Amino acid sequence: MNGYSFELITGPMSCGKTEELLRRIRRCEIAKKKIKIFSPAIDTRERGDYIKSRNGLAANAIKIEHSIQILHHVKPNDEIIAIDELQFFDSDIIKVITFLMNNGKKVIGSGLELDFKSEPFGHMPELMCIATRVDKLHAVCMKCGSEHATRTQRLINGKPADKSSPLIMIGGDEAYEARCIKCYELPDKNAVKTKKFSSMSLKLQDLVLR
Ligand SMILES: [Zn+2]
């Protein structure tokens, strides 16, 4: 329960990040700590002013559009600051969390570490560096059942999405599922095309029949 800390919970889709965040929030409530909970306004999963895990746990949360707004809500006597979906916050979130830590607060956050292309999501890399504790949770692979899924597979109409697929899909049935590294697929149609048609800069005089 000590302040001056930042605990970060991360992992792929469906690994129980928000559930773990809510579990820690609940413990702080039992300990009668003063707590403020935030989530980004961009999170389309929940429209209401609360955060909710897939297993039905929930807590009231203040929706934030810019990181700096967190500081408008935190009062000097607040002890715990919980933040969900950290991958969606702007770069000022690093300074905001550092400021809160330096001022004796305990920050608990959760966020998706990789996007569907398996590339670092938003400012999660910097957040993982400044955190005083990082917990990486694993999900169950939706393809083979392995309990070590660390990747988030994007599916469009049931098929693995192409690397060049637009960030926001218009039409089409889009979904995400957790997968282990072995089952994770990222087709890159453009790369195949480039390989097939690219020149090898051959010189006529170097060609020979064997
Ligand atoms: Zn698998």
For residues 131 and 148, membership in a common domain is answered with no
For residues 123 and 143, membership in a common domain is answered with no
**pLDDT higher than threshold 70 for residue 1:** no
What pLDDT score does 97 carry? 98
- Token pair listed for 128: 């993982």
Give 152 Cα–ligand 1 centroid separation in angstroms: 11
* CATH number of the CATH domain containing 175: 3.30.60.20
pLDDT in tens, 104-131: 999 999 999 999 999 999 999 999 999 9
Averaged pLDDT, 197-206: 71
Give 151 Cα–ligand 1 centroid separation in angstroms: 10
Domain assignment present for 35? yes
What pLDDT score does 70 carry? 97
For residues 124 and 169, membership in a common domain is answered with no
For residues 17 and 121, membership in a common domain is answered with yes
Give 145 Cα–ligand 1 centroid separation in angstroms: 6
For residues 7 and 53, membership in a common domain is answered with yes
For residues 106 and 149, membership in a common domain is answered with no
For residues 119 and 144, membership in a common domain is answered with no
Domain assignment present for 111? yes
CA angle 29, 31, 32 (to 5 degrees): 60
What pLDDT score does 49 carry? 84
What pLDDT score does 33 carry? 96
Task: Provide the b/e sequence for 44-78 (b: ≥16 CB within 10 Å).
Answer: eebeeeebbbeeebebebbbbeebeebeeebeeee
Residues with CB under 5 A from ligand 1 (ion): 141, 143-144, 146, 180, 183
Domain assignment present for 30? yes
159-160: strand order across its sheet: 159-160, 151-156, 174-179
Give 13 Cα–ligand 1 centroid separation in angstroms: 14
Give 3 Cα–ligand 1 centroid separation in angstroms: 39
Domain assignment present for 80? yes
Q: Taken in order 168, 172, 176, 181, is the CA torsion positive or negative?
A: negative
Q: Lowest-pLDDT range, 42-51, 128-137, 190-199?
A: 190-199
Domain boundary among 137, 161, 178: 137
- Domain count along the chain: 2
State the catalytic residues.
85
For residues 174 and 126, membership in a common domain is answered with no
Note the pTM of the prediction, 2 decimals.
0.85
For residues 4 and 93, membership in a common domain is answered with yes
Give 87 Cα–ligand 1 centroid separation in angstroms: 24
Range of the domain at 165: 138-187
* CATH number of the CATH domain containing 79: 3.40.50.300
Domain assignment present for 201? no
Domain assignment present for 203? no
For residues 121 and 179, membership in a common domain is answered with no
**SS3 of residue 174 by DSSP:** strand
Instruction: Answer with the residue of higher pLDDT: 4 or 192.
Output: 4
Averaged pLDDT, 14-22: 96
In the structure, what pLDDT confidence band is assigned to residue 47 with cuts at 50, 70 and 90? low
For residues 158 and 114, membership in a common domain is answered with no
**pLDDT higher than threshold 70 for residue 197:** no
Q: Go through the chain and tell me how many residues it has.
A: 210
Domain assignment present for 113? yes
Cβ burial of 125 (10 Å; 0-12, 13-18, 19+) is exposed
Measured between alpha carbons, how far is 129 from 197 in angstroms, rounded to an integer? Answer: 42
For residues 96 and 42, membership in a common domain is answered with yes
Domain assignment present for 199? no
Give 186 Cα–ligand 1 centroid separation in angstroms: 14
